[in-house]
């Protein structure tokens, strides 16, 4: 079962998270505050962002990525996939039932 790691500006986090839930692309989306330091166009930037951890299924992952790319304000959004190898069975079953 994959979890998508997504960074977003705070102003966009709720809308993206709710879209993923409403469209059943994720069973749950956690939001965590972070500060990102990165290089863009030859300059170092430091921005407050939120990390979205979107719990999804292998079948829905590609659709989730496409939906995030449509809604995300950045040209190059951070979207990474983590696959769990050890997960509580009852949680895995709930997630599978919650995602279409």
Q: Which residues pair with 81 in a beta bridge?
A: 4
Residue 84 has pLDDT above 90, yes or no: no
Residue 55 has pLDDT above 90, yes or no: yes
- In contact, 24 and 35? CB cutoff 8 Å: no
Domain count, the chain: 1
Average pLDDT score over residue span 61-76: 97
- For residue 41, is it within any domain? yes
For 3-18, the pLDDT digits (tens) are 999 999 999 999 999 9
- For residue 93, is it within any domain? no
Q: Are strands 28-40 and 79-83 parallel, antiparallel or unpaired?
A: unpaired
- For residue 12, is it within any domain? yes
- For residue 95, is it within any domain? no
The pTM of this model reads 0.90
**The CATH number of the domain where 54 resides is what?**
3.30.70.120
| Structural domain containing residue 81 | 2-86
Q: Name the band, by pLDDT with cuts 50, 70 and 90, for residue 1.
A: confident
Quote the CA–CA distance of 65 and 16 in Å, as a whole number: 11
- For residue 72, is it within any domain? yes
- For residue 92, is it within any domain? no
Tell me, what's the pLDDT at 3?
96
- For residue 47, is it within any domain? yes
């Amino acid at each position: 079962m994959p979890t998508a790691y997504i960074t977003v500006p705070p102003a966009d986090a709720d809308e993206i998270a709710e879209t993923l839930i409403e469209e059943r692309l994720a069973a749950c989306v956690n939001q965590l505050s972070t500060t990102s330091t990165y290089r863009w166009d030859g300059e170092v930037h430091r921005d407050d962002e939120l990390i979205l951890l979107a719990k999804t299924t292998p079948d829905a992952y590609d659709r989730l990525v496409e939906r995030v790319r449509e809604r995300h304000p950045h040209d190059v959004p951070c979207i990474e996939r983590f696959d769990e190898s050890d997960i509580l069975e009852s949680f895995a079953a709930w997630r599978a039932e919650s995602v279409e």
